[in-house]
Structure 1
Amino acid sequence: MKLHQLSTLAAIADTGSLRAAARSLGVSPAAVTKAVRELEADVRAPLVNRGTNGITFTEYGRALVVHARLVLGQLARAESELDAMRGAAAGKLSIGVTPWVALTFLPETVQRFRRRMPDVQLEFFEGLLAVVQPRLRDGTLDFSIGRPPPASPQGEFQHVPLFSTHAAVVARRGHPLADCRSILELEDAEWVLNWDPASRESMADNLFRRRGMKVPHTIHLAHSSTILMSLLSHTDMLSICPWPLVELTMAKENLCALPLRETVDETIVSVTSRRDAPPGPAGTCFLDCLREVIDEGARSKDPEQRRLFHSIELLL
């Protein structure tokens, strides 16, 4: 297998057709077809199906695309690391970020990072498990920042705790349950949460069952912070949000945090990466910037800044 063949296969997967792959690579469609045929001969298996509806991958092709992306991603990281050692940091850093971190700490972190590594292109993905896990696996994502996914049986990912924070139960102002003092009073409420379905049982245990509360009958899922905030503002649904997001959005979204006696949830935000591909120099710089933003925010003389960071505890 040759590098240009793997690049061709990955380009077909990314663009969806031979012609589009040829355009992205700057070669002719004939060159793309030749590379695929040579690769099929090398691996002694069909990789793509050519039909009236375009190109689809065989099971061999789908498996090889994952490895092709890993090889290409690892080479790109190696080039970036060598550039950084030469003092010419460039390249691209791809990061998955959980939505509430994106709304709170990300802008200042990016500005700080850009001052230090202005030639590095940043690419962000919303850090939902269904989005980040396949990209971490195939090497198109350097790392993600958020609640760590459930342990995989292969132990393919490593999770480095970054900080912890607490959460609050949130409702619209004037909600009939806005003055409740115990989470047990919320048993019959309607909820909308941004749980990942894969984490549902562990989250239900952590939030409800261990407090002697039955899991609410109606729990809607919102895979978007915009949708979540809209539903909270205009319905009688409840949700659970990290305190930094609560502080940032309460006034703007006409929301309130219920004055519960119980600590609702402690969230550990971790940096998740492939076990064999920890963050390189650019990734380490980005994470350093994030830690600085949180640390300085917690010690700020601005009371609004301190309120945003009051529930954050750095773990590294």
Structure 2
Amino acid sequence: MVQVAMGRSGVARLKTRHLALLLQLHDHGSVLRAAEAANMTQPAASKLLAEMEALLGVPLFERHARGVAPTAFGLAMVRRARSALAEIERGGEEIAALREGRLGKVAIGTVVNPGTTLVPQAVAAMKRDYPGILVEVEMDYSRPLVARLLDGQLDIVIGRIMDPEGAAELEFEPLADEPHAVIVRAGHPLASRREVRIVDLHDQGWIMPPAASVLRARLDAVFHQHGLHPPRDLVETASLPVIIHLLRHSDLLAALPPECVAPYLQTAQMQVLPIELDVRMEYFGIIRRRDKAPAPGVTHMLETLRDTARRIYPPLPELRPGA
């Protein structure tokens, strides 16, 4: 109980130099390399680490022959420190923007489908009304995007909350469903068939998401459910431009929401195969941190995202409690 009381009072006495060193120790795993990265001597870094541990009343790192490794206490502080320093940096950027007559910056992370439909349309609409807001957009899978949101590197994520870790700190506002179809180039050997079965897809070359992704697991499960092992002739990529180029110039298949390649479907450069893939992801939506009050630019972006989503997506069915 004494240690806990010391830790709580000690947190308020931590300084940004403590937090910066904490991150360097985590990232480098060595007091010497962390000290060099923080532009201080090794004895000074060791002293600063000892100060942190005394203030918090818990060991933050374990010392071993090869360097240091964070304890459970250390990992908890590392994430909070990363978020705190990111917030301070964003505050400085916001002040600089206001000095220059701009309205600030919004950093958005998005998964592929809304990244090719919702987000570009919303950003274009907001820039017409608020040209002084700098908008940064990055595309990835939900897990890494949510991690960057929790670290304070992003203001908004358009995606899904896939893991329980950190979920209590997040708000989720569902926007739309995301069914997937099998996409091929026009003239693909399977494109002329009236019916395509899972077994017909088995020996084809595929463009697949990385093995660690939820979508990859669900695609593999489709083949397992039909008594087949997943396809082995693969290209793994999360890059939509790469996927599009490969689809247009090869006989590879990809499972995508048709909206991602709508221009190519409309101009008959690509085709949806006649098969119900039965691969759906959870609703994607707006994800934000509960404890972070949005800056004016983020508020404008949120409003525009909601308006654009209402315009381009059908209304969601009412979700029953516990459903």
Alpha carbon RMSD of aligned pairs, Å?
4.5
2:162 aligned to which of 150, 172, 188 = 150
Q: In the alignment, is residue 135 of structure 1 matched against residue 135 of structure 2?
A: no
Q: In the alignment, is residue 109 of structure 1 matched against residue 110 of structure 2?
A: no
Alpha-carbon distance, 1:225 to partner: 1.8
Gaps of 5+ in 2: 1-10, 29-33, 96-100, 318-323
Whole-angstrom CA distance in 2 between matches of 1:18 and 1:6: 12
Alpha-carbon distance, 1:286 to partner: 1.4
Whole-angstrom CA distance in 1 between matches of 2:303 and 2:20: 36
Q: Quick one: structure 1 residues 313 and 127, their matched pair in 2 at CA, closer, same or farther if it must change by over 3 Å?
A: farther
Q: In the alignment, is residue 12 of structure 1 matched against residue 11 of structure 2?
A: no
Counterpart AA for 2:80: H
Q: In the alignment, is residue 188 of structure 1 matched against residue 189 of structure 2?
A: no
Q: Quick one: structure 1 residues 15 and 263, their matched pair in 2 at CA, closer, same or farther if it must change by over 3 Å?
A: closer
Match of residue 160 from structure 1? 173
Match of residue 223 from structure 1? 238
Match of residue 98 from structure 2? none
> Which moves more between the two structures, 8-17 or 119-128?
8-17
How many percent identity over aligned positions? Answer: 23
Alpha-carbon distance, 1:132 to partner: 1.7
Q: Quick one: structure 1 residues 122 and 176, their matched pair in 2 at CA, closer, same or farther if it must change by over 3 Å?
A: same
Whole-angstrom CA distance in 2 between matches of 1:115 and 1:14: 42
Match of residue 305 from structure 2? 290
Whole-angstrom CA distance in 2 between matches of 1:111 and 1:30: 49
Whole-angstrom CA distance in 1 between matches of 2:20 and 2:62: 12
Match of residue 306 from structure 1? none
Does the CA-based 8 Å contact 1:19-1:29 persist in structure 2?
yes
Whole-angstrom CA distance in 2 between matches of 1:278 and 1:239: 40
Deviations 1:209-234 (A, max 9, x none): 7xx74555216442222332333234
Deviations 1:173-223 (A, max 9, x none): 2211113344525342433232662525862488667xx745552164422
Alpha-carbon distance, 1:170 to partner: 0.5
Q: In the alignment, is residue 232 of structure 1 matched against residue 228 of structure 2?
A: no
> Which moves more between the two structures, 199-208 or 235-244?
199-208
Q: TM-score, normalised by structure 2?
A: 0.66
SS in 2 for 1:290: helix
Q: Quick one: structure 1 residues 136 and 127, their matched pair in 2 at CA, closer, same or farther if it must change by over 3 Å?
A: same
> Which moves more between the two structures, 244-253 or 91-100?
244-253
Q: Quick one: structure 1 residues 97 and 31, their matched pair in 2 at CA, closer, same or farther if it must change by over 3 Å?
A: farther
Q: Quick one: structure 1 residues 183 and 281, their matched pair in 2 at CA, closer, same or farther if it must change by over 3 Å?
A: farther
Whole-angstrom CA distance in 2 between matches of 1:235 and 1:30: 55
Deviations 1:109-143 (A, max 9, x none): 22333455555543433221342233233333333
Counterpart AA for 2:192: D
1:171 aligned to which of 178, 184, 202 = 184
> Which moves more between the two structures, 70-79 or 217-226?
70-79
Q: Quick one: structure 1 residues 50 and 227, their matched pair in 2 at CA, closer, same or farther if it must change by over 3 Å?
A: farther
Deviations 1:80-107 (A, max 9, x none): 999xxxxx98554332111343333433
Deviations 1:25-61 (A, max 9, x none): xxx779984654532442353549799x9x8653354
Counterpart AA for 1:113: M
Q: Quick one: structure 1 residues 173 and 96, their matched pair in 2 at CA, closer, same or farther if it must change by over 3 Å?
A: same
Counterpart AA for 2:21: L
Match of residue 314 from structure 2? 313
**Which structure: larger Rg?**
2
Whole-angstrom CA distance in 2 between matches of 1:281 and 1:254: 42
SS in 1 for 2:263: helix
